[in-house]
Amino acid sequence: MALYQFLWGSTMMIILLSRGCHSQQPVCGQAVLNTRIVGGEDAPPGSWPWQASLQNDGSHFCGGSLINNQWVLTAAHCVPDINLGTVVYLGLQSLPGLNLNVVSRNVSMVIPNPSYGLPTNVNRYDNDLCLLKLSAPVNFTNYIQPICLAAENSTFNAGVESWITGFGITDNGTLANILQEVMVPIVGNKQCNCTYGGITGNMMCAGVPAGGKDSCQGDSGGPMVIKQGSLWIQSGVVSFGQGCGLPNIPGVYTRVSKYQEWISRVIAGSNKPGFVEYTSAGVDSDQFFQCPTPPPPTTPDGGSVFDSGESMIHFFRFPSLCLLVISLYVLGGV
């Protein structure tokens, strides 16, 4: 009888864990040191324990997120700069100086989404997602934890508050010395498409009408996250944008929930990431949105006509394409 009770209790615990996280990894999205409720400033140590910094020769070029003890999620357009010498840093609080909680690993495998960059894509930035396997597993601490990933049926209504983090360009035009955080609301795809044209269902957007809060060059591959109950869930991956923090110009992110099947297939075995379904409350106002003017026309390859222009530039939030590097564009006082 005692054995039966033990087995029954264990079974119930497994069921309860599986309901909250659709994977064999029972814990994800935990940030015990995170007490932040506002953004646009230095992130306290341990607030975003899944944040990764991708570096070559000590120089940060892209962000990423830890999704289990040996895999990092980033953007596919970061791949050209990833090589055998690339180092992934976890638990990193500042780029210069001493980081007592940092752990580093080399990259042993690079797997971009196979649909990224296809000429048949509606938008050349579609499927901007990549998985990196670390050279060895990492141990979890208060400063290093995996993020939960949005499951395939997740919904993100316009206005839902989200957080973006990174070490990229700030308002003074240089890399952030300390990890930055900022809160931005989701902008629905219909409204976002009015700005860009060619926004697909594999993308999502976020920003504030007044501008000043945004991801920027070098934040590419970093996470956009949302809190549900006690869990943090990654909804997006920093992908591209037109400028940084411009009024009525949201940033564009790869929609993580569209890739549950691909991520699970790549990361085979018992240590799959935790997928959690995020459900927005209420009605999504974006379904009623109508563009005040027609969206910008697209070129035959699906890109906006100002993709390569001088005054209106679509660019990846990535240094090698615009001679800039990673973080959040946060204007003074935000």
Residues labelled catalytic: 77, 128, 220
Alpha-carbon distance 327 to 220, whole Å?
8
**In this structure, are residues 266 and 273 in contact, taking their beta carbons and an 8 Å threshold?**
no
Beta strands in 202-264 (DSSP E): 203-206, 213-216, 223-228, 231-242, 251-255
CA end-to-end span of the chain, whole Å? 61
The answer to whether the CB of 209 falls within 8 A of the CB of 254 is: no
Tell me phi and psi for residue 284, to 5 degrees: -80, 110
Give the amino acid at 70: Q
Choose among 256, 280, 284, 282: nearest CA to 188: 284
- Give the residue among 214, 300, 210 at the shortest CA–CA distance from 251: 214
AA identity, residue 268: A
For residue 279, how many other CB atoms are within 10 A of its CB? 11
CA distance 189 to 200: 8
